[in-house]
Chain A
Amino acid sequence: MSALLEVAGLEVAYGAVRAVKGVDLVLHAGEIRVILGANGAGKTSILKAIFGLVKPRAGRIAFQGQELRGLEPHEVGSRGVAWVPEGRQIWATLTVRQNLVMGAFVNNKRAAVERRMAELFDRFPILAERRSQLAGSLSGGEQQMLAIARALMAEPKLLLMDEPSLGLAPLIIRRVFDLVREINASGISILMVEQNARQSLRVANWAYLLENGAIAGSGSPAALASTEEIRRVYLGG
């Protein structure tokens, strides 16, 4: 099976600090893969490097066989990659509707935008109710729904999710991960970075363990969950 996303030998550094050290990872079409790691392990740097928001020092990043390194972030965004950033980062001063319109900035045919928005309003009725409200006035959970819906407006082939459970109530976290599964079932591949191993291993097909910027292990969720380190550090066992 050919890879949708292939990252090889990725190195990211901020000055003298090496945040990502020779990371290799692969994601096939239709999969959910998760990168597990503690704060500061380099998870977000990998996603930012994929998007061109930080310039890698070395390595290659291929999406559908084409190199992404050297592209500007808006060019990566135009190729079918969307993201749900850490801490939501919705546009607080725009309305819910305007956030969604901006999500479809690349594929902006009016009829298509309205159709997608109607579909998403069906899936997220709370956003439909609040469509004219400023996004900054939504609760944390609602903002996460908006961040996910905004990314879906781009009709991506690949969705990058950066700690979608961060700062949310347990009930909402469960809903978010159910949603991850639903989105994946609709044909969108997902690469997620998370600290919540319990929930992310529940939905992922494959998981990587990132420690100090390097891959310390990888495997199926069942295999990884049975390792001593994952149980001790991430699953509280």
Chain B
Amino acid sequence: MEQLIQHVINGAMVGSTYAVVAVGFALTFSVLRVINVAHPEVFMLAMFTGLVVVQALTQNFLIVLVIAATAALVAGLAIERAVLRPLRRADLLMPMIATAGVSVFLQYGVQGVAGPDELRFPRILPFAPLEVGAITVTSLQLITFGIAVLILLACSFYVRRTRWGLAARAVAERPDIAATFGVNVSRVAQITVGLSSFMAGAAGVGIAVLYGSAWSFVGLLYGLKSWVCMLVAGNRHIEAVMLVGIMLGILEALTTAYVSSSFRDAVAFVVLIVVLYKRPDGLFGSYSY
């Protein structure tokens, strides 16, 4: 039993970072109606920005986190301005293909500079194990989990309790109507992409510290899993996307422990197939387009 709880806790820690990336992905899709394939690369860019900051400037985790997440925010806004905005009224496929191009460019661009291998990310957080009975959690895990939860709560607060969050929901459901009531849809798009990118950046640093590595192609799998989380949850409630992200992490941990680690990355897609077969709008509903 203790072992099961241990796996669930480990899975939830990883799942919380899936949730952060997936929520950003879902927010962008809901509000801009585009699949931003380059979103996970923003996450990867933050990892490498964090690595540069650690090597050249400071090992203070908070400063590294803020600088890397800000770099992700700037990268996200640049993608929004240069690629997404000009294609706003285009067919869904166009921005998807365009951002896929950006994604490949960033992956190979970073690989060209940093090399094809995983780079070691210094452990800039304490690794003290905390034991409760037979269950062990490291302070590293707790801090990254805590940050992920804080980010998710802040995001939920923004969407549910602020004026621009309400506007974002109105744009997600009926962009033209929102515009006629004075909502600057471009501004909402910018805020949404900026927020999503900042969150992805923070998650990127968290994952880099947690696993102790940075890799130019890390975004591939994270991107696919974020997409899965959004499709499984549906994009109507971001809290549902958060929940599915955490559940996916737990499911992966259990698969690794009780089935085989070879199947770990396949779990997400099995869940996706089953859910879409039964509920094409996702478990908690989607906006209709």
Contacts and interface: CB of A to CB of B under 8 A. Distances in A.
A85 B174 CA distance: 11
Interface stretch (A17-25, A73-81, A114-122): A73-81
B166 A76 contact: no
Contacts of A82: 180-181
A220 interface: no
Nearest to A77: B182
Nearest to B287: A93
B181 A102 contact: yes
A51 B180 contact: yes
Given A91-B173, A94-B169, A103 B180 contact: no
A53 B170 CA distance: 17
Interface string A78-90: 1000110100010
A101 B169 CA distance: 13
A218 interface: no
A91 B169 contact: yes
Interface string B85-129: 000000000000000000000000000000000000000000000
A76 B184 CA distance: 11
Contacts of B180: 51, 53, 73-74, 76-77, 82-83, 85
B174 A91 contact: yes
A205 interface: no
Given A91-B174, A93-B173, A101 B181 contact: no
A101 B177 contact: no
A82 B182 CA distance: 9
B185 interface: yes
Contact of A94 (B170, B182, B185): B170
A103 B169 contact: no
A106 B182 CA distance: 6
Contact of A72 (B167, B170, B174, B179): B179
Interface residues of A, number: 25
A98 B179 CA distance: 16
B143 interface: no
A105 B163 CA distance: 8
Most interface-central of A53, A82, A93 (chain B CB within 10 A):
A93
A103 B181 CA distance: 6
A12 B184 CA distance: 24
B220 interface: no
Most interface-central of B176, B181, B183, B287 (chain A CB within 10 A):
B181
B179 A73 contact: yes
A73 B176 CA distance: 8
B194 to A, nearest CB: 19
Contacts of B177: 85, 89, 91
Interface in B247-289: 287
A154 B236 contact: no
Given A83-B180, A106-B181, A93 B169 contact: yes
Contacts of A83: 180
Contact of A101 (B166, B173, B176, B182): B166
A108 interface: yes
Contact of A102 (B176, B178, B184, B236): B178
B185 A74 contact: yes
B287 A102 contact: no
Interface of A: 51, 53, 72-74, 76-78, 82-83, 85, 89, 91-94, 98, 101-103, 105-106, 108, 150, 154
Q: Please give me the 3 A-B residue pairs with the lowest Cβ-Cβ distance, nearest first.
A: A106-B182, A73-B179, A77-B182
8 contacts: A72-B179, A73-B180, A77-B183, A93-B287, A94-B170, A102-B183, A105-B182, A154-B181
